[in-house]
A = this chain, B = another copy of it.
Amino acid sequence: MEDLYKQTLSLVKPSSSRAAFVCFNLWSDTKFDLATVYVSDAQYNRNIFFGTSPQAVRLYLLYNHLFMQTLVYVFIIINLALALFEDPAVVPLPIWATSTIEIICLSAFTVRMVHYAKVIPRDKFWKDPKNICIIVIVTLSFIDLTIYGALKATGYFAIRWSRVLRPLLLVNVTEGRQLRRAFRSIRNALPQISYVFLLFMFSVLVFSLMALKLFGKRGLLTIDGSPYFTDYLDIVFDLYVLVTTANSPDVMMPAYNYSVFFTIFFILYIVINTYTFMSFFLAVVYNNYKKYLKEEVRQLVKARRFKMCRAFSLLRETCGEGGEPVVTQAKWNHLVKLVKPNISIAHQELLWSVLDDQNKGHIGKFAFVQLADLLSIQVITVKSQPHPIQICFPSMYNSSVSRFIRNVVHHRMFVYVYDLIILVNAVFIGLDEENPVVSNAEWDFVLYAGGYTSRQILDIVFILRVLRLIRLVDSIKRFRAIINTLIKIGPTILTFSQLIVVVYYIFAMVGMELFKGKVQFFEPNSTSPDQEYCGNPLLKGTTFAKLNYCKNNFNNVVSSFIVLLELTVVNQCGFTAVTHVSARIFFVLFHIVVVIIIINIFVAFILEAFLVEYTVDKSDLQTSLEKKIEELELNVQQDGVDTGLVDAMESNDNELGPSEAGKQKPSLMFKIASRK
């Protein structure tokens, strides 16, 4: 071990080890391994109480290995995708095939669970609800699989009810932290949401009573000839749907046709319930989201600091003036190399110079704790290589013609002209459709080349051509804040789409069991007489059939997802015509869960992201890192165009002259990624 110490001491460069004292402490691989785990746990916000024995640490490292994590998600996706092949299937596979795949998946989850149980202490394992959840889900799936197999083998009717549980694995897996956070946020908002919801339902019920009194006795008829507003429960449902604006003019028309004064009732209803109460839901969700977010961030920061302190206490040495515990640069370098193996030396030096501002050669606890945050800030290392022509033909590169060309290319007008070309190109994409010469030439060529698949390839090429336009918009400064928000939202959209998948999957499974085969889709060239009412006599003459909505059904998992999407967007509830009460309950439940809760969380999230982008400044640490980069003159000239390119280039040239040769400044530059 002393060998190692000497070895690493020699790594410390003269420039940074100018501190006059030497610290004595033994360091071991084990300690470094443990410290590495603490730092990377802090960096990725992992909160797992693992054992500290060398073996446990090694198991824990294996558990957190990217390959293992990817494998878990692959198995989860395979398990979820089974719905494509199980009855009612998109691509039918025999039961033995899907069952075998499912058993493999479930076994994989079991193995992963056993691994986890080995990593953390036994009492912690059994106290963690997510472990219990996974064990219950896997057990129930095995039981269901056995029962289903047995029933099917003997020819009985059977339901694969455990499929509803599958998406819950996504939530309870160790890596699903963000998703669990989202669900916790929903759970925390639930009490307040339910109070508003009760009041809202009370309002709907009172309005329904009024509607019954106002319209029930007038003998009005709806458009399909049925009595209008005579049954209390029907009125409640109709008015509930009015909140979703799905049946907006229809539900009002008979009363409006009878007397114009009755519209006052509906206007009041829409103002109070559709607008005010729906805004209340958003307000409650937003309020809770903000409150909860603050609390979560506070706790994350606390946990991160705690872990960094543990890492510090493993590596600290008590020495120097005042006897304060410190960590030397040698140890720090070793640690950083372990945490982030592919970090460049320049980047590492940059980070150290941010922490060790006074160039002491060691840092205290306060500075050390910031390491995790520093590593989280994405710094892009830009290598400013000389232009290939400059290397091969230096005289040509430095000729006045070449300088002129370079200046032209970097000039503001050139950028504008380039943008204009993109725009003209886009117009041509739109126009060439009309131009038979261009268009047919393209299409003929492609069709000759190989028919349908090439056609699809061409579609993709066309889309990529159109996407070039985004470059144009990004060059306009005003739009950048908006686009930045869009980009920032990106990662959280991933969490959000997982949330949506979990909810959709559960509703799709239930919906398929309830409604499969009720609505049939016939290919356009079929001659079946059932085609015009989607194969269900109950739909004869309904708007649903007339508008050819037959493909909006629950006959397989893909079309179920699409129906649910349609329900989310506009709550097109034509399918309630088929099976009466269950469909209505299904519809209302879906509306409450997805539209009232989840969509509002999405809106709240975007609202907050947007407000933060417009109001909050960068973190202190990010600012000090940027300052350091500027101080060391390593910053990339970002807006050469804005500051007058020629000036910037010349001053760069001047800087390159007197720079110290040993620090490789000219060839490496940094910029902070999020700053764009």
A contact set with B: CB distance below 8 Å: 195-196, 198-199, 202, 206, 209-210, 212-214, 216-217, 223, 232, 245-246, 248-250, 252-253, 256-257, 260, 263, 267, 270, 274-276, 279-280, 282-284, 286-287, 426, 429-430, 433, 443, 459, 462-463, 466-467, 469-470, 473, 478-479, 482-483, 485-486, 489, 521, 524, 543, 547-549, 551-552, 558-559, 562, 565-566, 569-570, 572, 599, 602-603, 606-607, 610-611, 614-615
**A–B pairs, 7, beta carbons within 8 Å:** A206-B467, A206-B470, A214-B459, A260-B562, A270-B569, A275-B599, A280-B482
Question: How far, in Å, is A562 (CB) from chain B's closest CB?
Answer: 6
- Bound Cα distance A615, B551 (Å): 48
- Bound Cα distance A566, B199 (Å): 25
Contacts of A489 in B (CB 8 A): 276
Contacts of A249 in B (CB 8 A): 547, 549, 552, 566, 570, 572
Q: Which of A245, A250, A558 has the most CB of B within 10 A?
A: A245
| Copies of this protein in the complex | 2
Q: Are B209 and A426 in contact (CB under 8 A)?
A: yes
Q: Are A283 and B199 in contact (CB under 8 A)?
A: no
Chain B residue with Cβ nearest A90: B260
A-B contacts besides A195-B478, A286-B611, 13 pairs, CB < 8 Å: A199-B479, A209-B426, A213-B463, A248-B572, A249-B552, A249-B566, A252-B566, A253-B548, A253-B549, A257-B548, A275-B599, A280-B485, A283-B611
Contacts of A274 in B (CB 8 A): 569
Q: Are A547 and B253 in contact (CB under 8 A)?
A: yes
- Bound Cα distance A551, B524 (Å): 35
- Bound Cα distance A199, B475 (Å): 12
- Bound Cα distance A602, B463 (Å): 38
Chain B residue with Cβ nearest A524: B257
Question: How far, in Å, is A420 (CB) from chain B's closest CB?
Answer: 16
- Bound Cα distance A210, B287 (Å): 39
- Bound Cα distance A618, B384 (Å): 60
Do most interface residues of chain A lie in helix, strand or loop, or is the interface mixed? helix
Question: How far, in Å, is A180 (CB) from chain B's closest CB?
Answer: 23
Contacts of A245 in B (CB 8 A): 245, 569-570
- Bound Cα distance A547, B482 (Å): 41
Partner of A287, one of B473, B565, B614: B614
Question: How far, in Å, is A296 (CB) from chain B's closest CB?
Answer: 18
- Bound Cα distance A483, B232 (Å): 26
- Bound Cα distance A195, B615 (Å): 17
Q: Are B565 and A603 in contact (CB under 8 A)?
A: no
Q: Are A256 and B562 in contact (CB under 8 A)?
A: yes
Partner of A562, one of B263, B466, B570: B263
Q: Are A606 and B280 in contact (CB under 8 A)?
A: yes
Chain B residue with Cβ nearest A606: B279
- Bound Cα distance A566, B607 (Å): 27
**Given A212-B433, A565-B267: A199 touches B466 (CB 8 Å cut-off):** no
Contacts of A214 in B (CB 8 A): 459, 462-463
Question: How far, in Å, is A20 (CB) from chain B's closest CB?
Answer: 54
Contacts of A467 in B (CB 8 A): 206
Q: Are A566 and B430 in contact (CB under 8 A)?
A: no
- Bound Cα distance A429, B249 (Å): 27
Q: Are A607 and B429 in contact (CB under 8 A)?
A: no
**Given A195-B482, A433-B216, A569-B248: A279 touches B548 (CB 8 Å cut-off):** no
Contacts of A433 in B (CB 8 A): 212-213, 216-217, 232
Name the 8 nearest CB pairs between A and B, nearest first. A283-B610, A248-B570, A279-B606, A213-B462, A245-B570, A279-B603, A283-B607, A248-B569
Question: How far, in Å, is A29 (CB) from chain B's closest CB?
Answer: 49
Chain B residue with Cβ nearest A544: B249
**Given A283-B606, A430-B232: A547 touches B250 (CB 8 Å cut-off):** yes
Chain B residue with Cβ nearest A489: B276
Contacts of A565 in B (CB 8 A): 263, 267, 270
Chain B residue with Cβ nearest A258: B524
- Bound Cα distance A485, B196 (Å): 12
- Bound Cα distance A402, B275 (Å): 49
Q: Are B548 and A607 in contact (CB under 8 A)?
A: no
Q: Which of A209, A250, A548 has the most CB of B within 10 A?
A: A209
Question: How far, in Å, is A64 (CB) from chain B's closest CB?
Answer: 32
Chain B residue with Cβ nearest A250: B547
Contacts of A614 in B (CB 8 A): 287
- Bound Cα distance A511, B467 (Å): 38
Q: Are A213 and B547 in contact (CB under 8 A)?
A: no
Question: How far, in Å, is A54 (CB) from chain B's closest CB?
Answer: 48
Q: Are A607 and B282 in contact (CB under 8 A)?
A: yes
Partner of A486, one of B253, B275, B276: B276
Contacts of A196 in B (CB 8 A): 482
Chain B residue with Cβ nearest A207: B466
Q: Are B569 and A610 in contact (CB under 8 A)?
A: no
Question: How far, in Å, is A235 (CB) from chain B's closest CB?
Answer: 10
